[in-house]
Amino acid sequence: MTRDEPADETPADEQLLVLPDDLRNELKEPLGPVETDAERLLEAVDGPIIAVGDVVTYHLLQAGRQPDVALVDGRTKREAVDAEIREAVTAGASLEVTNPPAELAAPVVRALRRALAADDPTTIVVDGEEDLVALPAIVAAPDGASVVYGQPDEGMVHVTVTDDLRDEMRALLERFEGDTERFWALLEDAASNGE
């Protein structure tokens, strides 16, 4: 990035999808049941866990389960998380990427692909925002995997990956603005390597 570029813009070759304004309200609805107790949530888990968000990841770690893939950005509800959470969720972080707010950029999609294919738990530290990564994670994760993300002021949303849900997320992602063809090429690589 040169000094002339605004800090919140992604280089054109790295930007894939941008969340259009008309989808923002639609995405506020949880995609699955909302749980406030991590231990109870874990009772319903059968397979790998992809955690999206610092507080969600922290609660899963506190309940004794390291997510197979965790995406964290050091923030919750647009505020910095406290030091205890930040240290707990970034300990042993494997990958660091940039992903601007309201976007899905190539680096985070590539990191998700690598994390899903890895044998060991992988934490991806995102400079920017990781919220939207739950959508491609649902598409790329294997059947029966759990994608868990935070619902502000409510709890943790637990989504169990199925073919129907994958199709729903594909349709939703098709409504984003940007280079969907390149996005799918990167993500399909993730799905084929992750299974």
In-domain check, residue 86: yes
157 found inside a domain: yes
User: 164 φ, ψ to 5°?
Assistant: -60, -45
Residue labelled with tokens 């598409």: 139
pLDDT at res. 78: 73
What is the domain extent for residue 167?
32-194
Given its phi and psi angles, is residue 94 left (phi above 0), alpha (psi -120 to 50 degrees) or beta? alpha
Does 119 belong to an annotated binding site? Answer: no
The DSSP-derived string for 23-41 is HHTGGGS-SS-EES-HHHH
In this structure, is residue 169 part of a structural domain?
Answer: yes
Q: Do the domain assignments include residue 18?
A: no
pLDDT in tens, the chain (195 residues): 333 333 444 455 688 999 999 898 888 889 999 999 999 999 999 999 999 999 999 999 999 999 999 999 988 777 878 888 888 888 877 899 999 999 999 999 999 999 999 999 999 999 999 999 999 999 999 999 999 999 988 999 999 999 999 999 999 999 999 999 999 999 886 444 444
Say if 117 falls within a structural domain.
Answer: yes
The number of distinct structural domains making up the chain is: 1
Q: Is 153 annotated as a binding residue?
A: yes
Strand partners, 124: 71, 95
Q: What is the pLDDT of residue 189?
A: 63
* Residue 1 falls inside a structural domain: no
45 is in an annotated binding site: no
Tell me how far CA of residue 143 lies from CA of 68, 124, 163, in angstroms.
14, 22, 7
**Is 56 flagged in the annotation as binding?**
yes
CA distances from residue 38 to 44, 45, 93, 121, 149 in whole angstroms, order as listed: 10, 11, 21, 18, 12
Question: Residue 11: its pLDDT value, please?
Answer: 53
**Residue 20 belongs to some domain of the structure:** no
- Is 109 known as a binding-site position? no
Q: Is residue 11 part of a domain?
A: no
Q: Is 55 annotated as a binding residue?
A: yes
In 3-state terms, what secondary structure has residue 70?
strand
